Amino acid sequence: MDDPDRSVEGMSQTPPVPSTVPTPTTRTPAGVPGPPPASSHPDPAAAAAVRGVGLRKTYGRGDAQVHALDGVDVAFGRGQFTAIMGASGSGKSTLLHLLAGLDSATAGQVHLGDTELTSLDDNALTELRRKRVGFVFQSFNLLPMFTAEQNILLPLELAGSKVTPDVRAWFDRLVTTLGLRDRLTHRPSELSGGQQQRVAIARALLTRPDVVFADEPTGNLDSRSGAEVLEFLRTSVRELGQTVVMVTHDAQAAAYADRAVLVADGRIAGDVADPTPEVVQAELDRLRTASLASPASTPARGVAAGSTPAVEAR
């Protein structure tokens, strides 16, 4: 189990965030309980749980070359829920994967607290992903032969760690918060999609990671289950002090977050504090119009103006 204070100490050594890092411009992000709320910290870099500096990612060569990320500077506040939004192909998943240490950048750095990821060897990176980062995927990624409880405790199993009384108390709190108490002995096939995703969230939170990264966590859920899962992600931020960064296509889903960062053509193209579905949709429409007007940019796909929301508004 990580020391929850470790990353707080580490952040005091973090160099200042570059001046190009965009900050939300509309309203001050809502304060949250738990470890230092991002909005109350005097130094924006010290309030960041994770940040990317000059991130570039290029796939392929020659004519087939794609600049998936084209110089991204972005910081995500500790104890904040941030949505990353943008058209299909804009670079959202690439950004999430680089920030989570799942893929390496062509250029630039990722700082998780005071740890710079590109300086780590494979073993250190694996250890970091296991202990300091949590993942929630669209497809749940639960082990079918394991019960919900076994799936939630899997990170400890993988780390060869024991279930100490502290861990058991945290597990109990997660299970209660996520409403899984009476589902612990069920296997994934005996759970609804929403319940499976809640198990995946509990598993992601078990090690009290610095950041939980969620890639379209409601993509496979009906609107009601999707709304529940978003509510639980928000609760994990508000009540458990977690930092969550979520990729979504959906303006309604983004409205559960404290902040929405918009990506277009591999660059940060907007930043909205306390997003509402209307403001986010207007931003997406603006980007889509700009993209269509610019022959050099990739046409936006997948985020059509007025597209049907996948989840209910909060």
Nearest to 77 by CA among 284, 261, 283: 261
Task: Select 92 or 198, whichever has its Cβ closest to ligand ATP.
Answer: 92
Residues in the interface with ligand ATP (CB under 6 A) total 13
Residues 292-311 interacting with ligand ATP (rule: CB under 6 A): 302
Considering only 59, 163, 224, 299, the residue that binds ligand ATP (CB under 6 A) is: 59
Nearest to 51 by CA among 18, 94, 92: 18
List, as one string, the DSSP characters of 265-290: TTEEEEEEES--HHHHHHHHHHHHHH
Nearest distance, CB of residue 93 and ligand ATP, angstroms: 3
Nearest to 202 by CA among 247, 158, 154: 154
Considering only 11, 37, 77, 92, the residue that binds ligand ATP (CB under 6 A) is: 92
Q: Which residues contact 205 (CB under 8 A, 6 or more apart)?
A: 134, 174, 212, 236, 240, 242
Nearest distance, CB of residue 138 and ligand ATP, angstroms: 10
Task: Select 11 or 85, whichever has its Cβ closest to ligand ATP.
Answer: 85
Look up residue 105 and give its amino acid: A
Q: State the virtual CA torsion across 40, 42, 45, 48 in degrees, nearest 10.
A: -10
Task: Select 147 or 218, whichever has its Cβ closest to ligand ATP.
Answer: 218
Residues 257-296 interacting with ligand ATP (rule: CB under 6 A): none
Nearest distance, CB of residue 129 and ligand ATP, angstroms: 19
Positions of E strands within 27-86 = 48-59, 66-77, 81-85
On the CB side of 73, how many CA atoms lie within 13 Å of its CA? Answer: 10
Considering only 79, 89, 134, 217, the residue that binds ligand ATP (CB under 6 A) is: 89
Told to check if 141 binds ligand ATP by CB under 6 A, we report: no
Task: Select 206 or 265, whichever has its Cβ closest to ligand ATP.
Answer: 265
Task: Select 94 or 115, whichever has its Cβ closest to ligand ATP.
Answer: 94
Query: In angstroms, rounded to a whole number, what is the distance separating the alpha carbons of residues 112 and 101?
Result: 9
Which residues of the chain form contacts with ligand ATP (CB under 6 A)? 59-60, 66, 68, 86, 88-94, 302
